[in-house]
Amino acid sequence: MKKKYLIIFIVLFFLIFPLFIISKINIAGNLPKYQQKLWGTAFNIFMESPDFIKSSFMIISGKRNFSNLFNDYNVKFLPETQYLNLEFYKKKINFSKSSRLSFYVEEYKNNLIIITKNGEFFRAELNELSDKSKKLNTIKLQNKNLIEQSENELTILDSLIIDNKIYLTKTTKQKNCRKLSIVFSEINDVLSFETLKEFKECALVGIGAGRIQYYKFNSKRGILLSTTDSDNDEPGARAQDDKSIYGKIIFINLSNGDHEIFSKGHRNAQGIAVKDDIIISTEHGPRGGDEINRIFYNKNYGWPIASYGYSYERKDLTYKKSHEKNLFEEPLFVFLPSIGISELIILPDEFDEKWNHNVLVTSLNDRSIYRVKFQNKNFDKILYLEKIYIGERIRDIKYIDKLNIIITALERTGSVGILRK
C-alpha cells in the first residue's frame, strides 16, 4: 500500500510542479530578477528533496537513463561497508541567512568550532555529536576585525587549530587584485585576528585551494599551504614559475611568517593530510584526472604540462599523460572520471583495526567518501578504494578521537554528518 501511494505522489509531483513553475514564469513576464529568484527557489526545493525524487526527475528529464539503476552490482550502501557497519546521521547547524553553507570544522578541547566561508564562527559542545537529535546547538562567536573585511569580498578557504590559536586562509579583493593571506587569533568568545602572512602577488585566475596543515620542516614549526593556478580551460603558467606562489604547496614559518616553495606543478590541491613526515594531498584535475599525490619536498607534479584529465571545451589545449616520462611525480591514484575531489584525512588505526592504513577522501560532485586502503604505514602504494555514498557535497572532514567518530561538513543542508561504528 505504501508503495502505491509513493508512486501516486511521484506522478502528481512531476505533473503539478512543472506547471506551477511555468505559470509563475508567465506571471513574471519580463522581470529577470523575479525569474532568477524563482528558479533559485525551485532549485533549492529540488535539492532538498529525497534522493528518489531527484533521481526520478533526472531520468524523466533525460539527464540520466535507466541503465544507471543497474550499474551498482555488489555495491554496498550505509550502514554497510565492506568490513564495518557504520551509523550515519546529520545534525543541522542554525546558520544565519547571510552565511553560505560552505564551512569547515575543527576540534578544540571539548568543543567543535565551525567556520563559514564568509567568516562567521560557531561553537558547540563535542558531546552533542553523540546525540542523534537533528539540530546542533551552537553559540555564535564574535570577531572584532575579520567580518569587517567582507566588503572586500572576504572568502575563508580553510581553518586550522594549533595549540590555542585558530589559523585561517583568507582572500580579499582590493580594486582588481585578489590576494591570499594567513591570519590567526587566540581562541576566545571574541576573536581578534592578526596577520601571519600576506602575499603581495595578485591572483590571475581566481583563488581556490588554500588548504592548510601543521608541519614541522627542518626543525621549524610551520604551516603547509596549497595554492591554485587554474580556472577551467585557463591553466595559467605560474605553477612552474619559481618566482610565483601560485600552483604550489608553500611552507610558512610560524615564528616569523617566512615562506618557501615546498613543491610545485599543482593545479588545485583541495586537501592536505599530514602524519609525521608523510604528506598526502588531493588535487582537482581538469575534466577528469582528479589526483591523490604523495608530496615530497622540491618535487614537481607536472601542472600544466602533464595531467590525466582533458580540457573542458578547448580543442587546442592538451596535456601530456605520463608524468614520469616528462620528469614529474606520478600521482598515487587518478579518478577517471573526476569526483570533484575535496579534503582528506589519514585515519588513525584506533578507529578500527579493520581500517588500518586508511585515508578517507571526500568529494563534492560525487557526494561520497572514498576509503583508500594503503599497503602499509609508508602510504606509498594504494591497494583498493571503497566508495561510501553520503548524498551531499562534502567540504571538510575530521576524526574526533575523544568520541571515535568521523565528522563531515555537508554543504547542501548545512549539517555536520557523523559516521560512527
For the stretch 299-308, pLDDT in tens is 999 999 999 9
* Residue 97: per-residue pLDDT: 65
> What is the domain range of residue 35?
2-70
Specify if 402 maps to a domain: no
Specify if 29 maps to a domain: yes
Distance of CA 60 to the CA centre of its chain: 30
- In eight-state DSSP terms, residue 351 is G
Cα–Cα distance for residue pair 223/165, rounded to 1 Å: 13
Do the bridges between strand 190-191 and strand 139-143 make them parallel or antiparallel, or are there none, so unpaired? parallel
Specify if 8 maps to a domain: yes
Per-residue pLDDT reduced to its tens digit, 125-170: 999 999 999 899 999 999 888 866 555 788 999 999 999 999 999 9
Specify if 242 maps to a domain: no
Q: 241 CB contacts (<8 Å, ≥6 apart)?
A: 247
- Given a cut of 70, whether residue 57 has pLDDT beyond it is no
- Given a cut of 60, whether residue 100 has pLDDT beyond it is no
For the residues 389-408, what does the mean pLDDT come to?
A: 96
Specify if 21 maps to a domain: yes
Cα–Cα distance for residue pair 413/44, rounded to 1 Å: 10
- In eight-state DSSP terms, residue 268 is B
Specify if 136 maps to a domain: no
Q: Identify residue 36 by its one-letter amino acid code.
A: Q
Least confident of 5-19, 92-106, 319-333: 5-19
Specify if 10 maps to a domain: yes
Instruction: Please state, rounded to an integer, the average pLDDT across all residues of the chain.
Output: 87
- Given a cut of 70, whether residue 246 has pLDDT beyond it is yes
Q: Identify residue 321 by its one-letter amino acid code.
A: K
- Given a cut of 50, whether residue 179 has pLDDT beyond it is yes
Q: Mapping DSSP to helix (H, G, I), strand (E, B) and coil, where does residue 80 land? A: strand
Report the domain count for the chain: 1
State the Cα angle at 269 between 267 and 271, rounded to 5°.
170
For the residues 69-77, what does the mean pLDDT come to?
A: 75
For the residues 351-358, what does the mean pLDDT come to?
A: 96
Specify if 328 maps to a domain: no
Question: H or E segment at 186?
Answer: strand 177-186
Structure confidence at residue 23 as a pLDDT band (50, 70, 90): very low
Residues in the chain: 421
* Residue 339: per-residue pLDDT: 96
- Given a cut of 90, whether residue 35 has pLDDT beyond it is no
pTM: 0.87
